[in-house]
Amino acid sequence: MYKKLIAALLATTVSSVAMASELEAEALGLVKQFGSTLKGQLVSAMKEGGPVKAIEFCNLRAPGIAADIAAASGWEVGRTSLKIRSEDNAPDSWELKVLQEFEAKKSTGTAPAMLEYSEVVEVDGKKNFRYMKAIPTEKACLNCHAATIAPDVEAKLHELYPSDNARGFNEGDIRGAFTLTKPL
């Protein structure tokens, strides 16, 4: 009897691990899609009109890219950070915990590009698969996210993001994270 119970528990565990691995792979694929689309269009906006045009792009188009990917995939897709630019991207309690863990791991030498985390969580009796992948701060990000920025960039940020806190970053910092959720 105990052997059957142990075998059943092992089978369930193996099945859960396989499912989590598949969901992680799917989430990572969506992160790559979102990240490459966002970065490609952001680079185009920078070439077209510098950081001010890039800020306008982020304000107007980035949420739509996330929404399009979400609609096509069945996942909730977004970005968050410990230092948010828009209240719409404020981390929930789970995301906040993961972002803090990412920062702790970075402080011990883990490269931000290597930081990801997933977990099945239950909220109101419903299970969800949650996934986060850190977004490293690249040199180009500093045009809008450094401690000191150009006056025209400052003015556009103040216009579009009056509560902006997404400043003070250095190259290699964790700018934030992609965050994905899929109901199970």
Q: What would the pLDDT profile of 10-64 be if each residue is shown by its tens digit?
A: 444 444 556 778 999 999 999 999 999 999 999 999 999 999 999 999 999 999 9
> 168: which 2 tokens?
């003070």
CA distance 27 to 136: 18
pLDDT of residue 170: 97
- How crowded is the C-beta side of 123, counted as CA atoms within 13 Å? 13
95 pLDDT band, cuts 50/70/90, is: very high
Q: What would the pLDDT profile of 2-11 be if each residue is shown by its tens digit?
A: 565 454 444 4
pLDDT of residue 7: 46
pLDDT of residue 123: 87
Across 83-107, average pLDDT? 97
What does the DSSP assignment read for 55-113?
HHHHHHTHHHHHHHHHHHHSSEEEEE-SS-SSGGG---HHHHHHHHHHHHHHHTT--GG
Neighbours of 77 (CB within 10 A): 23
* Nearest one of 76, 108, 94, 84 to 181, comparing CA atoms: 76
Give yes or no for a contact between 56 and 156, defined as CB atoms under 8 angstroms apart: yes
* Nearest one of 177, 182, 9 to 79, comparing CA atoms: 177
The owner of tokens 């075998």 is 7
CATH of 2-183, one of 3.30.450, 2.40.50, 1.10.3210, 3.30.70: 3.30.450
pLDDT of residue 147: 94
Please state whether 124 falls in left (phi above 0), alpha (psi between -120 and 50) or beta.
left
Q: Is the pLDDT of residue 112 over 70?
A: yes
Q: What would the pLDDT profile of 119-155 be if each residue is shown by its tens digit?
A: 999 989 999 999 999 999 999 999 999 999 999 999 9
